[in-house]
């Protein structure tokens, strides 16, 4: 299963454009301390920042998955990245109130939903010899975006201001889409299906998987949204807390890619591995309840390195089982992911304000365990 240069270019492009449209949503969590101070917001109100991004993505995920099947993945990816860039520039230049910021983030969320389904279809239509590695590399774009968001705190937010972090994100997205347009040729439909409208996995099974992802994504969304603020509350400096998010996300990238190298030849059911990894992630999240910087470091590394690995296995299982309709199938399951990430910052923000960080982290760990159990119930179907 040797990769050709064109295959490597496509996989790298998929990772770059994945980062470009999800980064605005992760920046909201990383910049929480600075934006809250600027607009004078409580944790419960600020939770709508991340929620607006993923609520919009939830609304558009399934529909945009079917659109990608019809207009082609490369065209959909190009349009979605362009829309995201425009919205980020508007946010940096014109968001003088939190309401305007929410509108811009919602537009970015819709663009991200379109981009994710488009990339999944792009990778499957290319019929890569190492689909598992391609999915792992693409999914590594998520923690990489978190890593970049964390670096944005000491390097940008604390020096020239948080708005410039969105300008930098737009510049990154511009470079990513130019790379894809110049290096990746249009890919036609697979011979087995002209539109890929029907999935091979029963819809009921995909809905159960999406329900599991609600709980798992709630854990991941809470981590990204509140890790920095939680570390600051535990006594860590703002810049150091941002670096902790970056280091934890880097740990997640390394683990995802390590699994990706052997994913195509792995005999284990990918959903079973995902469920097992999430148990370890739940333990890391629970440890964040302890109010000590040193514990936060170890807990964050475990939470990201074990609890945010599941999308590699689950997306690989879903795409492999539905190669002719990858955008439609992942449009269904990604809806669950987005719902979880929408609910997470709102519920966790309320818990922080009413009960404190320890209670919030313990509740998040329980969510992760519930998601793990549901994932295990459909493991044999993927």
Kindly list the structural domains of the chain, giving each domain's residue range(s) and its CATH number in brackets, ordered by start: 7-381 (1.20.1250.20)
Q: What is the pLDDT of residue 358?
A: 94
Could you tell me what percent of the chain has a pLDDT over 90? Answer: 42
pLDDT at 191: 46
> Which residues neighbour 51 within 8 Å (Cβ) at sequence distance 6 or greater?
341, 342, 343, 345, 346
Name 214's Cβ contacts closer than 8 Å, sequence gap at least 6. 336, 337, 339, 340, 343, 371
- pLDDT tens-digit map of 211-256: 999 999 999 889 888 898 899 999 999 889 988 988 998 898 898 8
What are the tens digits of pLDDT across the range 165-176?
A: 999 999 999 999
User: pLDDT tens digits for 304-358?
Assistant: 999 888 988 998 899 888 877 777 888 889 889 888 888 887 888 889 989 999 9
Residue written as token pair 């969510």: 367
Q: What is the pLDDT of residue 192?
A: 44
pLDDT for 27-52, tens place per residue?
988 888 889 888 988 877 887 887 88
Q: For 181, what's the count of Cα atoms within 13 Å in the CB-facing half-sphere?
A: 13
248-281 tens-digit pLDDT = 988 988 988 888 888 888 888 999 999 999 999 9
Q: Which pLDDT belongs to residue 289?
A: 94
pLDDT at 111 over 90: yes
**Number of C-alpha atoms within 13 angstroms, CB side, residue 85?**
16
> Quick one: which of 17, 28, 58, 320 has its CA closest to 162?
28
Mention every residue, 6+ apart, whose C-beta is less than 8 A from residue 159.
Answer: none
CA distance 198 to 10: 26
What are the DSSP calls for 69-117, one per residue?
HHH-HHHHHHHHHHHHHHHHHHHHHH--SHHHHHHHHHHHHHHHHHHHH
Residue 1 pLDDT: 57
Distance of CA 194 to the CA centre of its chain: 29
Percent of all residues in the chain with a pLDDT value above 70, rounded to a whole number:
96
pLDDT at residue 329, as a whole number = 85
pLDDT of residue 154: 87
Query: Are the beta carbons of 183 and 78 closer than 8 angstroms?
Result: no
Average predicted confidence (pLDDT) for the chain? 87
Mean pLDDT of 181-193: 63
């Amino acid at each position: 299963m040797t990769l050709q240069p064109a295959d490597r270019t496509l996989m790298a492009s998929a990772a770059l454009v994945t980062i470009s449209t999800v980064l605005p949503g992760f920046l909201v969590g990383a910049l929480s301390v600075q934006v809250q101070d600027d607009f004078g917001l409580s944790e419960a109100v600020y939770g709508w920042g991340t929620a607006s991004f993923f609520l919009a993505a939830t609304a558009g995920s399934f529909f945009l998955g079917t659109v990608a099947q019809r207009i082609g993945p490369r065209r959909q990816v190009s349009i979605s990245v362009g829309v995201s860039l425009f919205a980020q520039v508007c946010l940096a230049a014109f968001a003088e109130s939190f309401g305007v910021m929410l509108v811009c983030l919602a537009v970015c969320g819709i663009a991200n939903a379109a981009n994710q389904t488009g990339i999944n279809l792009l990778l499957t239509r290319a019929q890569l010899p190492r689909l598992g590695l391609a999915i792992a590399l693409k999914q590594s774009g998520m923690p990489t975006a978190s890593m970049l968001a964390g670096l944005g705190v000491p390097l940008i937010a604390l020096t020239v201001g948080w708005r410039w972090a969105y300008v930098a994100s737009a510049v990154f997205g511009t470079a990513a889409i130019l790379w894809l347009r110049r290096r990746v040729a249009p890919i036609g439909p697979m011979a087995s299906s002209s539109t890929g409208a029907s999935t091979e996995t029963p819809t009921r099974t995909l809905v159960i998987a999406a329900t599991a992802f609600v709980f798992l994504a709630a854990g991941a969304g809470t981590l990204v949204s509140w890790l920095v603020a939680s570390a600051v509350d535990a006594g860590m400096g703002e810049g150091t807390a941002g670096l902790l998010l970056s280091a934890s996300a880097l740990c997640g990238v390394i683990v995802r890619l390590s699994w990706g190298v052997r994913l195509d030849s792995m005999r284990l059911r990918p959903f079973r591995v995902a469920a097992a990894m999430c148990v370890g992630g739940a333990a890391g999240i629970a440890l964040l309840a302890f109010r000590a910087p040193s514990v936060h470091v170890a807990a964050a590394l475990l939470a990201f390195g074990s609890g945010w690995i599941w999308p590699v296995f689950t997306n690989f299982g879903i795409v492999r089982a539905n190669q002719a309709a990858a955008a439609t199938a992942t449009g269904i399951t990604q809806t669950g992911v987005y719902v979880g990430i929408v609910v997470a910052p709102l519920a966790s923000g309320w818990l922080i304000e009413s009960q404190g960080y320890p209670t919030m982290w313990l509740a998040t760990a329980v969510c992760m365990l519930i998601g793990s159990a549901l994932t295990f119930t459909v493991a044999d179907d993927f």
